[in-house]
Amino acid sequence: MKTEVRGIIPPLVTPFAKDGSINATMFRKIINHVINAGVHGVFIAGSQGEFFSLERQERISLFEIAVDEVNGRVPVYAGTAAVSTSETVLLTQAAESVGCDAVSVISPFFITPNGQELYQHYKAIAKATHLPVLLYNNPDRTGYDIPVDTIKRLAEIDNIVGMKDSGGNLTYVNEVMRSIGTDFSILSGKDTVIFNILTAGGRGAVPASANVAPKLIVDLYNYVQSGDYDAARKAQFELAPLRMAFSLGSFPIVVKEALDIMGFDVGGARAPIQPLTPENRSRLTEVLKKMNLC
């Protein structure tokens, strides 16, 4: 029986101080902000956490801070992906050594590995750690989907326990679930289809908007678990304006500015990403006000 991954697991922002360094105090505050809202885990140094702009030691420091601050209250998922297999293995082993509970690994970006290359990549990572490993399919960022037959082969490896999907293609997700069965956790990484994936058999979500509205998304999840689909659908629709507001700026700045508006001084995104225009920040503020978040 595989380790089950379940619930709402926010991919946390990485707060930066004015000098560009990691703001550990604010990071701890964000961790408690989402845990107090009832989330079921935290995901560190993912896409929303700007893993792509972090040095190796910065990522490891984030893992250490998270493990310390969480203190066993919920599982800590570490984003350990890199383009090369060797760097991903190194980061995965570092995450294990500091006490993280699982790792999530986006498929290699910039390059386009074939199915056999992806299989060998993920197999090497899984064999290098005792931790549960989540595949991470994000075609918008990598340019391709992990082939379903490759996922099926990878699911035969004991500690490859599930997949986060940020593509939002329900046909693809349903085919993964049909091909592999229930002993494999599928998590939605697309905030607009959490309800759809949960009701199709998915076990949770890794939603960037849960940095901003964690309770609403935890409620959505709990409604589905209790069978109150009408309330869950309503929560999904209430979340939509926030997720649609992501288009107001370049990823990943909108979530960070939303938190800033709410009183969390998480700083901006690392260059070349720039702050929102005053007009778009005003639009974002209106969205948050209508959702009673500020």
Domain boundaries, given as residue ranges, for the chain? 7-215
With bands split at pLDDT 50, 70 and 90, how would you rate the model's confidence at 270? very high
The distance in angstroms from the start CA to the end CA of the chain is: 44
Distance set, CA 243 to CA 13, 81, 169, 248 (Å): 15, 24, 17, 10
Which pair of tokens denotes residue 161?
Answer: 């326990």
pLDDT more than 70, % of the chain: 100
Task: Give the pLDDT confidence of 72-94 residue by residue, as tens digits.
Answer: 999 999 999 999 999 999 999 99
Q: Under a CB-based contact definition with an 8 Å cutoff, are residues 92 and 131 in contact? A: yes
Q: Under a CB-based contact definition with an 8 Å cutoff, are residues 190 and 165 in contact? A: yes
Mean pLDDT value across residues 26-30: 98
Task: Give the pLDDT confidence of 179-207 residue by residue, as tens digits.
Answer: 998 889 999 999 999 999 999 999 999 99
Task: Give the pLDDT confidence of 145-179 residue by residue, as tens digits.
Answer: 999 999 999 999 999 999 999 999 999 999 999 99
Distance CA 215, CA 123 (A): 36
Residues forming the active site: 136, 164
CB atoms within 10 A of CB 171: 7
Task: Give the pLDDT confidence of 128-143 residue by residue, as tens digits.
Answer: 999 999 999 999 999 9
215 exposed, middle or buried (CB, 10 Å; 0-12, 13-18, 19+)?
middle
Distance CA 82, CA 52 (A): 8
Question: Across-strand partners of 136?
Answer: 106, 164
206 is in an annotated binding site: yes
Kindly report the CATH class assigned to 7-215. Answer: alpha beta
Task: Give the pLDDT confidence of 206-242 residue by residue, as tens digits.
Answer: 999 999 999 999 999 999 999 999 999 999 999 999 9
